[in-house]
Chains A and B, each alone.
Chain A
Amino acid sequence: MKKLHGLDSTDVSSDPLMPSQALLLVSVLLAASALRTAAAPHPETNRNSSNETHKAKKAFPVLDLDFQRVRTPFKISLLVMFGSAMKMGFHFFPGLSSVVPESCLHICAGLGLGGFMRLFGKDVPPVMNPDVFFLFLLPPIILDAGYFLPVRPFVQNLGTILTFAVVGTLWNAFFVGGLLYAVCKFGAGLPLQLLPCLLFGSIVSAVDPVAVLAVFEEIHINELLHILVFGESLLNDAVTMVLYHLFEEFAGAGTVTALDGFLGVISFFVVALGGLFVGAVYGILAALITRFTAHMRVVEPLFVFAASYGAYLTAEIFHLSGIMALISCAVVMKPYVEANISQKSHTTIKYFLKMWSGVSETLIFMFLGVATGAGKNLSWNTAFIMTTLVLCLIARFMGVFGLTPLINRFRIVKLTNKDQLIIAYGGLRGAIAFSLGFLLDGDHFPNKDLFLTAILAVIFFTVFLQGTTIKPLVEFLAVRKKQETKRTINEEIHQEYVDYLLTGVEDICGRHGDHYWMEKLSRFNERYLKRFLIAGYSGEENQLLTFIQKREMKQAIERVENGGRSRLPSAAPSTVSTRNIQPQVPAEEPGVSTENRDKVEAMLVSNLRKIRQRRQSYSRHTLPDDPFDEDVRDAWLSKRVRWKDPTVSFSADTPFSGRAAARASGSQAQSTAPIPDNQVTVQVQVHRSINPRQSPDPVEPPQSPDPVTLLNELKKEEEDEYEYAFDYDDDDDDD
């Protein structure tokens, strides 16, 4: 099969425009090939005709046809386009897409496609087989999830997550498998052995990360519940793998001894910890490599992807948990890589991850639909399927509600009944279960078709029914939603303050509490890891300062965007200004004439608006339209905006952190976005002495903008749309 080319090109510009360009390219290719196919009635005949040309001289074939060669990639591209078009298309029906989760719609599309294909007697395309799923479709989604995993809540709730993942899944597997066997033995009369039943139980009991992501993304539930269910779906991979292999191995043999059970337990630890270890190694590797990529920025995203994929594949070689490897690689790698790579690389990585995972998700659900619609290897047995469904539900609810009292004993913030209900209800099954079922050997498991059908039924039930009704359920129970408002400075200050406070109190209490270990870890991180893995890291960075820097950017951007009427994150425009808190300081106007100011304002506004409009806003497959968006942050690094109060604004641009060092040294453009009177904005330039050659400039009074320079730069802006080239295209390579 020809290597897939389209989406992972390492185009020089690492242009975030790639996705749409790629689609454009593909559609052009399609159009071209459509033209060619139109010429001939049947792909096969060409072969014969080309053979015959050797015998009798024909006219030179002006238009030729060779479909076989490109068949598979062609079908893949078609499917990808179809899937992406579906994805977009659903948003033209806002009524539908707000009620039914996207995944359902994708499945339906797949069903249609599958039925369509069955009608024409064609085979399911070769793309839908477990290898493709596990090797190509699953990794992007997991990587995307892992790279953007909120680590702090994840680690804080790790105990809970692990309990649900391990104990919960085990319980589910044995409960479903065991009872199914009992029911079949004494009831429906299906000749099922115990081991196949247990195997089936273990396949069908794992909560699926893809399905959970797809559904939970749309209900915007509070962070705790989201991370609990999602974390569980990630970590239960190890359990599922071990159980699957265990039962599969011994289903042939027919019996499982105690020794095998014991080995299984050991195997679990090996699988889980091994996966984590492999991922961590690759993560450190990637971080280390990116330390030296200052002169070769364009390959940075590639290292990230390659390292992660390498981790996944390596884990798969040894039958370790690939998902856990991928997650640990992403989590380990992220802080260091983020500090090392350029802004554009960061954007590229973000875009590519979102794009790949979006496409993958669409394809996965579509293929589920196709597999069902084409319906080759399905055999329906009402009793079995109904029993499975009921047992799965019961097992899930019993598991969650049974485990929570135990968990709550060790939790500080307990899980309420509402929380438990949502966790239980959110246990969706998905494509992993199906693929695992598909992988079963038909000889060892004569009931494979039955299993597959049941798995599909469970998937459909959970995704359709539970997926659709979870949103109203959340509304009905008034579960806390995700906090949408942006962080304020005060919150950020106090978050850090409270952390230190709690650590201190724990020390006074004489306990090595959670905060103690977090402190230790972060100190280790600062002292050793960061120095080793981050380019140009010399001092300690402060979370609060980083936050303030980002915020400054955001405010500058917002002010320009709104044409000079900036807003505070949480409040309506207010009349408060520095005069209100520092009466002794006379408020000075910068020396800017009004017309200049207006002119400049207008230009800035129109430019930024043009650029901003290209962002769409649907689900998680858009980059969050957030102020920390690096593209625009880049734009403003050189255009420091000053505050009109001379005593409070200050020092010239000095390197913020390793990766910004390059840019800062190059750009000296001074400009002021005009500030109307009552603005509540702060600009904080933070002094960092990373490069001793750059000494901090003294505090400068506000300067009038140089309209000419400003306008010139803005004209450049217009030319490079997404590029934000300005004057530091070259500077990117310095360090």
Chain B
Amino acid sequence: MGASQTRSEHPSYRDLSDKTGFSLEQITNLHKRFKQLSGDSETISRENLNSIPALTDNPIKKQIIDAFFDKRNQHKGEVGTYGEIGFEEFLMVMSHFRPPSLKTSEEEKKAMRKEKLRFLFNMHDSDSDGMINLEEYRKVVEELLSKSGNIDLEAAKAIADAAMLEVASTSMPDMAPDYFYEGITFEHFEQILSGLEMESRMHIRFLDVDTVTMRCDKKQ
């Protein structure tokens, strides 16, 4: 079948599989999709992702696209952004959305949760300083509310402030009145979202069969 052919053309599929945890069939399918998005070139730019019609209604479209080009999500220890990404980077980002399987042990689940929370954290922490400060968080809430038409900036501000306060008071209940809580660190972030059980929540279905049902509009 086609799978064996592609396998010989891209011997790194196995490496990718080891690195990201996807199965070979899943990688094949994702590669097909990658080719579609990139217009058969080796890399994807932001414009490619921007032009996906279904994403237009998504309030956090920009953040999602940025996440793909964020070097921090590649787990190589680098910081910054890419201008364009290749398939490997694409796959790395996608691997954050894999669900746990039956065989995942408790430690692996914990690691998974940390990884997913880290991904979210990176999405919020736009200046890469390792903390989500008030301004960034306000932006997050604003974007979230931007879908419902009337963005009440005051409301968004207040919600963000309240959320910040919540994190602050949960993580450091005995803060001195003069202490300036600069921003949410990753540890605090983890703590405050531990109830959501990200490893079971933040995932999408990667099928082994080819189910790409959406085509990109433009000919590229």
Contacts and interface: CB of A to CB of B under 8 A. Distances in A.
Interface string B128-146: 0000001000001100110
A574 B174 contact: yes
A502 B97 contact: yes
Interface string B144-167: 110111101011011101111111
Given A511-B205, A540-B149, A650-B154, A500 B58 contact: yes
Contact of A575 (B60, B157, B177): B177
B176 to A, nearest CB: 7
B41 interface: no
B162 A583 contact: no
Nearest to A411: B99
Nearest to A551: B162
A491 B162 CA distance: 12
Contacts of A497: 60, 120, 140, 144
B147 to A, nearest CB: 7
A541 B159 CA distance: 16
A542 interface: yes
B159 A680 contact: no
Nearest to A405: B102
Interface stretch (A111-119, A345-353, A564-572, A620-628): A564-572
Contact of B202 (A490, A498, A509): A498
B173 A512 contact: no
Contacts of B172: 574, 576
Nearest to B97: A505
Contact of A574 (B37, B148, B173, B193): B173
Contact of A505 (B64, B120, B152, B174): B64
B64 A489 contact: no
A504 interface: yes
Interface string B51-87: 0101101111100100010000000000000000000
Interface residues of B, number: 76
Given A684-B158, A684-B159, A568 B170 contact: yes
B220 interface: no
Instruction: Give the interface size bracket for A toward B.
Output: 35 or more
B36 A491 contact: no
Nearest to B199: A413
A657 interface: no
B161 A509 contact: no
Contacts of A689: 150
B168 A414 contact: no
Contacts of A583: 180
B169 A508 contact: no
Contact of B154 (A498, A548, A699): A699
Given A497-B144, A568-B169, A687-B150, A503 B58 contact: yes
B154 A651 contact: yes
A513 B141 contact: no
A508 B205 contact: no
Contacts of B33: 508-510
Nearest to A580: B181
A338 B201 CA distance: 28
Contacts of B214: 507, 510-512
A515 B158 CA distance: 29
A519 B58 CA distance: 10
A540 B54 contact: no
A494 to B, nearest CB: 6
Contact of A504 (B36, B58, B169): B58
B49 interface: yes
A719 interface: no
Given A509-B30, A510-B36, A488 B166 contact: yes
A493 B165 contact: no
Given A503-B58, A682-B161, 13 more contacts: A416-B102, A490-B193, A497-B144, A505-B204, A507-B55, A508-B33, A510-B214, A512-B213, A514-B205, A541-B148, A544-B159, A573-B173, A582-B134
14 contacts: A414-B101, A414-B102, A493-B163, A498-B196, A501-B60, A502-B203, A505-B97, A507-B52, A509-B30, A576-B169, A581-B180, A680-B165, A687-B152, A687-B155
Interface of B: 30, 33, 36-37, 49, 52, 54-55, 57-61, 64, 68, 94, 97, 99-102, 120, 123, 134, 140-141, 144-145, 147-150, 152, 154-155, 157-159, 161-170, 172-181, 192-193, 195-196, 198, 200-207, 211-215
